[in-house]
Amino acid sequence: MREEYPFSKDAVCRPGKWTTMERGIQYLRELAVQEMVYYDPDNVQLPTDPDEVQCTQPMWRKFVRSAPSSYANSLAVIDWKSEEAPTVDEVAGRLWQYEESLSSSLVSAVEKLSWEFQQLKEDVSYFPLYRPISRLLGVSVPLLKREDIEGAHHEAPCGFTCATRKRT
């Protein structure tokens, strides 16, 4: 590879963006292999395992630039001093932790949205148009249960038929 690409900047691991964290970590390891190819071959202290390679700032910048927008903004703020650069394996571990925390917060947001949607469906089943219209207008309408509604209905000024609340 060195003969074909004498400068490391000329070698391209994978053009384009990765879409999953697993593929992103694979790309980071490919960058580490590329880094290993351009190491000084006479230095025996250099790692032979891509996971043991230090994640340099240029490697990290390439990695962040290849990230999808859902990750790129968060990853771009991560920084470290050159002499304290973590290994690719350490970075991969941190990326998996980030992915898990992102996934768990996403799952909880979806669950909350699901619950709110279910509540909205129940509201609509009692008052098909009144509650959504009142939400659009910013008017607070108390949630009525079927047993709280009288059999009497009247026509509202807007032309919709509305139920009235029982008087206690």
Query: Structure tokens of 120?
Result: 């909205």
CA–CA gap between residue 97 and residue 29 (Å, rounded): 17
Q: Could you say which DSSP state residue 54 is in?
A: B
Higher pLDDT, 108 or 53: 53
CA–CA gap between residue 32 and residue 88 (Å, rounded): 7
Predicted confidence at residue 89, as pLDDT, reads 95
* pLDDT above 80 for 131: no
CA–CA gap between residue 29 and residue 52 (Å, rounded): 10
* pLDDT above 60 for 117: yes
Predicted confidence at residue 22, as pLDDT, reads 92
Phi-psi map region of 79: left, alpha, beta (phi>0 left; psi -120 to 50 alpha): beta
* pLDDT above 70 for 136: no
β-pair type (161-165, 149-155): antiparallel
Return the bridge partners of 95, or none: none
Using one digit for the tens of pLDDT, what is the confidence trace for 60-107?
Answer: 999 999 998 888 888 888 877 767 889 999 999 999 998 888 777 776
Average pLDDT over the chain, rounded to an integer:
73
Indicate the pTM of the whole model: 0.54
Rounded average pLDDT over 21-26: 92
162 touches 156 (CB < 8 A):
yes
Using one digit for the tens of pLDDT, what is the confidence trace for 137-167?
Answer: 555 555 555 555 555 455 555 445 555 555 5
CA–CA gap between residue 34 and residue 90 (Å, rounded): 18
Higher pLDDT, 66 or 45: 66
